[in-house]
Amino acid sequence: MKKNISLIVAIALPLIFLAAVAIAVLVPAASVHPTYSFIYTSDPSYYGYYGAYRSTYIVNNGSIALQSLPTQPNMQYRDEAPPIYLYDVKTDTTHVLTLDQAHAYSVDPGPSSPDGYIVQYEYGNNGIFDLFGARSDSNGYFIEKGSAKKKLPGLAESNGYSYNGSFKLLGWIK
Amino acid sequence: MDKERTLSFIREQMASGMITPEDLANISKPATVHEADAPSRNVTRVLYGIGAVIAVIGVSILLAEHWDEIGFLGRVVPTLGIAVATFVAGILFKNSQQKPLSEAMLGISAILAPLGSYVFLHEIGITLDWAVQLCLALVWAVLFAGATWLTRRSAPVLATVGFATWAYYAFLLHIVDVAYGGDDFIKWATIVLGIAYILIAYGYASIAGDPEETREKQSVRGILYDFGTLAILGAGIDLGGVFDLFYVLPVFAGFYGSVYLKSRGMLILSALFLVAYIIKLTSKYFVDSVGWPVALIVIGFLVIAVGYLTFYLNRKYIVRS
């Protein structure tokens, strides 16, 4: 009987743990309902291989505008400015915008959205000793408010934004 | 002691419950065929094991060298096909004369099942995402649990635990990935899994009913005790923070458990993690105050003390039993 109990506990313990983790993690995530979409750019901090951009973006009186950067001698330039994207928080999708389209939106430069959310890079789990259970695809950008957070699937590795530093939030669409 | 006194003694022991009718039936059996031909059975078992390993290596080489040429059937039949066929064969060969063969077949099936499932899903265009992995692992876990129950063999127990572990991590990593990027949940999950392994090993005697399998049962229990200890102490030492203070508790629980459960693997792992803990604490908290040379001297003597403790516990409580 004692051995049967140990088997029952052995099976029940991981199930209870999974249920507890699911409640602890998924319930706060379910409460993440951002209402403001945002505009961002991919602005890598290193320019070496591909070259630099001549301009960057600023938010001036709630509008996105271009600002020229000082020209540097011997610098390879790749383009006028980095691409701009709109992240739709309702559909978790991302769309390319032209500067004119971006300029038409009235934005709050944040970094917090009007309803208190921030977008931030999180390093995922590295498993045990970086081996057991290790995975890199849990790294990524999360939208967070307090302890509740949810991954932004639109900013996925395949879109080239998964590494920290490339993403730059320009503003939350009012 | 004459016959009457012996019989009277046995009756008294039976009345007190010390000896059961089953015990009498067991000792009254003539020297069994199994004992007489144990060496040849062991040779057969070894040959089955070698054959299983060679078959699995053959499948791997076939896939690696001829993947592009062999097409759908050529890829699926040697992987999933053999996994299913050997699984069925393992169940069919379950009678007592063919049990080692049954075990070898189920062993091949357990090794080829994940590979075969992956190849099959890849061929029909299904991505192995978390939900597919969870379903797959659960299906195989249930199948091997059924095989354990039907064959009363030890090998499928490990396969069942292995597939259940796969399902556990598939689900857990999905939960953590969806909402949170931290790794503490994974460490705690591994500790919980380690406890479950040890409990399964402890309760395992009640699920496998074949009395001929004592050695195999002990091997399976030993493997589960070792992996359980590794999971608890391996994940525990990586928690850090305030848990550095309490880590000594599971380590000494490991020493106690090794004596209580007669597990040499648990004893050795507890000793190794105690040494790792001593080195971690010394390098983290004492090197700045006493310097590396003194710290190394202290670590050296503490490691010797752990070595002696391990030797003493093993000799006094584990080897003698």
What is the token pair recorded at B90? 């393992």
Q: What is the mean pLDDT of residues B168-187?
A: 75
CA B259 to chain centre: 19
A170/A161 Cα distance (integer angstroms): 15
On whether the CB atoms of residues B97 and B44 are closer than 8 A, the answer is no
Location of structure tokens 């301009």: A55
Q: Does A17 touch chain B (CB under 8 A)?
A: yes
Measured between beta carbons, the chain B residues lying within 8 angstroms of A33 are: none
Q: Does A145 touch chain B (CB under 8 A)?
A: no
The H or E element spanning position A64 is: strand A63-68
Kindly determine whether residue A127 and residue B183, on different chains, have CB atoms separated by under 8 Å.
yes
User: What is the predicted ipTM?
Assistant: 0.72
Q: B197: which 2 tokens?
A: 């392994």
Nearest to B110 by CA among B42, B45, B44, B166: B166
Q: Collapsing DSSP states into helix, strand and coil, what is residue B106? A: helix
Q: How far is B301 from B315, CA to CA, in rounded Å?
A: 21
Residues 6+ apart with CB under 8 A from A35: A89, A115
Count of pairs with CB atoms under 8 A, one residue in A, one in B:
111
Shortest distance between the Cα of A118 and any Cα of chain B, in A, equals: 15
Q: Which residues pair with A67 in a beta bridge?
A: A56
Residue carrying structure tokens 């040697």? B78
Q: Is A157 on the interface with B (CB under 8 A)?
A: no
Contacts of A142 in chain B (CB under 8 A): 181
Q: Taking CB atoms and an 8 Å limit, are A10 and B190 in contact across chains?
A: no
Partner-chain residue, chosen from A129, A135, A151, that has the shortest CB–CB distance to B238? A129
Q: How far apart are the C-alpha atoms of A138 and A25, rounded to whole Å? A: 14
Picking from B201, B212, B183, the residue whose alpha carbon sits closest to that of residue B103 is: B212
Q: Give the residue numbers in B contacting A (CB under 8 Å), as ranges.
A: 168-169, 171-173, 175-183, 185-190, 192-193, 195-197, 199-200, 202-207, 234-235, 238
Mean pLDDT, all residues of chain B: 81
Under a CB-based contact definition with an 8 Å cutoff, are residues A55 and A81 in contact?
yes
Structure tokens at B159: 């396969």
Q: How far is CA A141 from CA A152, B74, B194, in A?
A: 6, 42, 32
Q: Which residue of A has its CA nearest to B231?
A: A128
Q: Which residues contact B96 (CB under 8 A, 6 or more apart)?
A: B212
* Interchain pair B177, A13: CB under 8 A: no
Q: Which residues contact B226 (CB under 8 A, 6 or more apart)?
A: B263, B265, B266, B269
Q: What is the dihedral of CA B231, B233, B236, B237, to 10 degrees?
A: -130
Q: Average pLDDT, stretch B199-209?
A: 75
Please check whether residue B195 is in contact with residue B216, taking contact to mean a CB–CB distance below 8 angstroms.
no
Of B316 and A144, the structure prediction assigns the larger pLDDT to A144
State yes or no: pLDDT of B175 exceeds 60. Answer: yes
- Residues near A173 by beta carbon (within 8 Å), at least 6 away in sequence: A36, A37, A38, A39, A86, A105, A106, A107
CA–CA min distance B277, chain A (Å): 15
Question: What is the predicted pLDDT for the residue at B167?
Answer: 92
Nearest to B161 by CA among B100, B91, B223, B254: B223
Contact A7 B199 (CB under 8 A): yes
Judge whether B199 and A9 are in contact, CB under 8 Å: yes
Give the confidence band of B160 by pLDDT, cuts at 50, 70, 90.
Answer: very high
Residue of A17, A25, A138 lying closest to B192 (CB–CB): A17
Cβ neighbours of A29 in B, within 8 Å: 178-180
For A7, the closest of B182, B206, B234 (CB atoms) is: B206
Question: A136, A7 in Cβ contact below 8 A?
Answer: no
Residues of A in contact with B179 (CB under 8 A): 25-26, 28-29, 149-151
The answer to whether B259 and B218 have CB atoms below 8 angstroms apart is no
How would you write the pLDDT of chain A (174 residues) with one tens digit per residue? 666 888 889 999 999 998 888 887 777 777 788 888 888 887 665 555 566 777 888 888 888 888 887 877 777 777 777 888 888 888 888 888 888 888 888 888 878 888 888 888 776 544 443 334 444 445 678 888 877 778 787 776 545 454 555 778 888 888
Instruction: State the Cα–Cα distance between residues A19 and A9, nearest whole angstrom.
Output: 15
- Shortest alpha-carbon distance between residue A21 and chain B (Å): 8
Answer yes or no: do B168 and A122 touch at CB < 8 A. Answer: no
Confidence of residue B168 (pLDDT cuts 50, 70, 90): very high
Contacts of B199 in chain A (CB under 8 A): 6-7, 9-10, 13
How close, in Å, is residue B30 to chain A by CA atoms? 31
Q: A74: phi > 0 → left, psi -120 to 50 → alpha, else beta; which?
A: left
Q: Where are the alpha helices (DSSP H) in B77-154?
A: 82-92, 99-123, 130-151
| Percentage of chain B lying above the pLDDT 90 cut | 16
Retrieve residue B267's tokens: 């004893």
* A115 in Cβ contact with A35 (< 8 Å): yes
